[in-house]
C-alpha cells in the first residue's frame, strides 16, 4: 500500500531537530536567520508558531471595528475563519472556481460591501494566482490584502507577492519543507509588525521537551509511510474496524483538543526556530519542481474524462493532487484495492455565507468538496506507478459513464 502522502523532511533534519532540543540558546539568532532568509534583510518577516498565531496577532493590532467584514476564499481550513471571528469580524466567503481553485476576479467585487476592511486569498493545493483583482479593490476602497501561502511554498523562488499587505507561510507537519511546526508572515506595515513583535514577546514559550516529543512522533509517522509498514498499518486498522482516515487525521492535526487560542498563543521554542532555519537555508526547490512535473504528467495521463482542480491556475505545483470524481467513494475503494491509499478526508471546508448575505453561499466550493478525491503524489512513487494510477482513475470514469448510459439508454430514432 502506497501512503497518501510523504512528509517532506529528511532523517538528518529530524536528528538536527532533536539535537537542537538539547541547546540552551534562546532561539533569537535562529529566528533572525529565518526572517533574514525570507526578507533578505528588508525587516518585514516575522517567524512564529503557526499561521493562526500570526493572523491572530495581526488582527489584534489592526483592531478593526466590531462587525467589519473580511472576505475570504470560500475553501479554507476552519481555524482561519475561527481566528477572524474571534476578533469580532464577519467572515464573508467568496466562492471558488474549480479550474483555478481561487475566486473569479469579479467575485471579489460582488462580495465587497461598505463594511469590508480585509480580504484573504488562499492559494490552494499548490496553485498560485494573481492578486491583481484585490489590489484594484484596495486602490478603490482601502481594503487590506492578505495572501495565505500555506500550501504554495516552493522554495527560494517564492517568498510572497510584494503587492500583498501580508503574506503567510506555514511549515507545519504536512507542508512543503516542513519544520514540524512554525510559520513566517511578511507584514509590510512596519508599525503593525512592531506591535505584533512586542505582544509576541510576552507570550509563554513552548518547551524544548514538547518539541522533542513532536519530533519523535513525526519520525515514527515518517517510518510508517514506508510501503510495507504502511500496508501492515492499513490492514491492522481494518482488522480492528478502525477508519484509516480517522486515525491519520487525529494523529496529524496541528492543534488537537482544548482551546485553540490557548494553544496558538505561544512563542516557538529555540529548537523549532533552529530546525526552521535549517529547512529554509537548505531549500532549493528541486523536490517541488519534480513534484510539479510529475503532477502535470499525471493530469495529462488521466485525460479529459476526469477534472483536476486548479489546472488553469497560472502556477500549480501539486502540493496535493486531487480529482473530481463521480461516485468518489467507489474510486477510493478501487484505488485502495490496487495499493494506492487515496482519500476523501480533508481539513478544508466551504465557509457558510452570513445570514445577511445568502446570495454568497459558496455552491461551487461545496460541489467541489462533494466530489473531491486526493491521490498519492510524491517523487518516490515513480512514473510507472503514476501511469498505473492514472489508468485506474480512467477506468473508474469509464465504468461510471457506462453505467450511466445503461441506466439512461439513448432512445431509438
**Exposure pattern of 95-130 as b/e (b: 16+ CB <10 Å)?**
bbbbebbbbbeebbeebbeeebbbbbbbbbbbbbbb
Query: CA 38, 40, 45, 51: dihedral to nearest 10 degrees?
Result: -10
Structure confidence by residue, pLDDT tens digits, 226-257: 888 988 988 888 888 888 888 787 777 767 77
Instruction: With a cut of 90, say whether residue 179 has pLDDT above it.
Output: yes
Domain range list for the chain: 1-413
Q: Confirm if 100 and 127 have CB atoms less than 8 A apart.
A: yes
- Determine which helix (DSSP H) or strand (DSSP E) holds 118, and give its type and residue range: strand 116-122
Q: What is the DSSP letter of 205?
A: B
Least confident residue range of 67-81, 170-184, 186-200, 244-258: 244-258
> Which of 167, 110, 169, 165 minimizes the C-alpha distance to 143?
165
| pLDDT tier at 413, thresholds 50, 70, 90 | very low
Q: pTM score, two decimals?
A: 0.93
Structure confidence by residue, pLDDT tens digits, 260-302: 999 999 999 999 999 999 999 999 999 999 999 999 999 999 9
Residue 404, pLDDT score = 66
Does residue 147 or residue 25 have the better pLDDT? 147
Least confident residue range of 37-51, 84-98, 242-256: 242-256
Determine the CATH number of domain 1-413. 3.40.640.10
Q: Confirm if 20 and 274 have CB atoms less than 8 A apart.
A: yes
Amino acid at each position: 500500500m502506497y501512503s497518501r502522502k510523504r512528509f517532506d523532511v529528511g532523517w538528518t533534519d529530524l536528528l538536527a531537530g532533536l539535537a537542537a532540543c538539547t541547546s540552551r540558546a534562546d532561539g533569537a539568532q535562529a529566528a533572525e536567520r529565518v526572517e533574514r532568509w525570507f526578507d533578505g534583510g528588508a525587516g518585514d518577516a516575522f517567524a512564529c508558531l503557526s499561521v493562526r498565531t500570526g493572523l491572530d496577532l495581526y488582527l489584534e493590532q489592526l483592531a478593526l471595528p466590531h462587525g467589519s467584514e473580511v472576505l475570504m476564499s470560500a475553501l479554507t481550513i476552519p481555524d482561519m475563519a475561527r481566528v477572524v471571528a474571534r476578533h469580532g469580524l464577519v467572515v464573508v466567503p467568496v466562492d471558488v472556481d474549480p479550474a483555478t481553485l481561487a475566486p473569479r476576479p469579479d467575485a471579489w467585487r460582488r462580495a465587497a460591501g461598505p463594511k469590508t476592511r480585509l480580504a484573504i486569498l488562499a492559494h490552494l493545493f499548490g496553485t498560485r494566482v494573481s492578486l491583481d483583482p484585490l489590489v484594484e479593490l484596495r486602490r478603490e476602497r482601502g481594503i487590506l490584502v492578505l495572501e495565505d501561502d500555506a500550501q504554495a511554498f516552493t522554495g527560494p523562488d517564492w517568498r510572497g507577492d510584494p503587492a500583498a499587505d501580508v503574506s503567510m507561510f506555514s511549515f507545519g507537519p504536512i507542508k512543503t519543507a516542513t519544520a514540524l511546526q512554525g510559520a513566517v508572515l511578511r507584514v509590510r506595515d512596519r508599525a503593525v509588525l512592531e506591535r505584533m513583535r512586542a505582544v509576541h514577546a510576552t507570550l509563554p514559550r513552548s518547551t524544548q521537551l514538547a518539541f522533542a516529543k513532536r519530533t519523535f512522533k513525526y519520525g515514527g509517522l515518517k517510518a510508517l509511510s514506508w510501503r510495507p509498514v504502511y500496508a501492515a498499518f492499513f490492514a491492522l486498522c481494518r482488522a480492528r474496524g478502525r477508519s484509516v482516515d480517522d486515525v491519520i487525521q487525529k494523529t496529524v492535526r496541528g492543534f488537537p483538543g482544548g482551546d485553540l487560542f490557548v494553544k496558538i498563543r505561544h512563542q516557538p521554542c529555540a529548537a523549532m526556530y533552529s530546525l526552521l532555519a535549517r529547512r529554509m537555508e537548505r531549500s532549493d526547490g528541486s523536490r517541488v519542481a519534480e513534484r510539479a512535473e510529475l503532477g502535470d504528467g499525471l493530469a495529462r495521463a488521466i485525460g479529459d474524462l476526469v477534472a483536476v482542480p486548479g489546472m488553469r491556475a497560472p502556477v500549480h505545483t501539486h502540493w496535493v493532487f486531487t480529482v473530481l470524481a463521480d461516485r468518489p467513494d467507489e474510486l477510493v475503494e478501487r484505488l485502495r484495492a490496487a495499493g494506492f491509499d487515496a482519500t476523501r478526508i480533508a481539513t478544508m471546508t466551504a465557509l457558510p455565507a452570513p445570514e445577511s448575505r445568502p446570495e454568497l453561499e459558496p455552491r461551487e466550493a461545496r460541489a467541489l468538496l462533494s466530489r473531491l478525491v486526493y491521490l498519492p503524489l510524491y517523487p518516490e512513487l515513480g512514473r510507472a506507478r503514476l501511469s498505473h494510477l492514472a489508468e485506474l482513475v480512467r477506468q473508474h470514469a469509464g465504468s461510471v459513464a457506462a453505467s450511466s448510459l445503461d441506466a439512461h439508454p439513448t432512445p431509438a430514432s
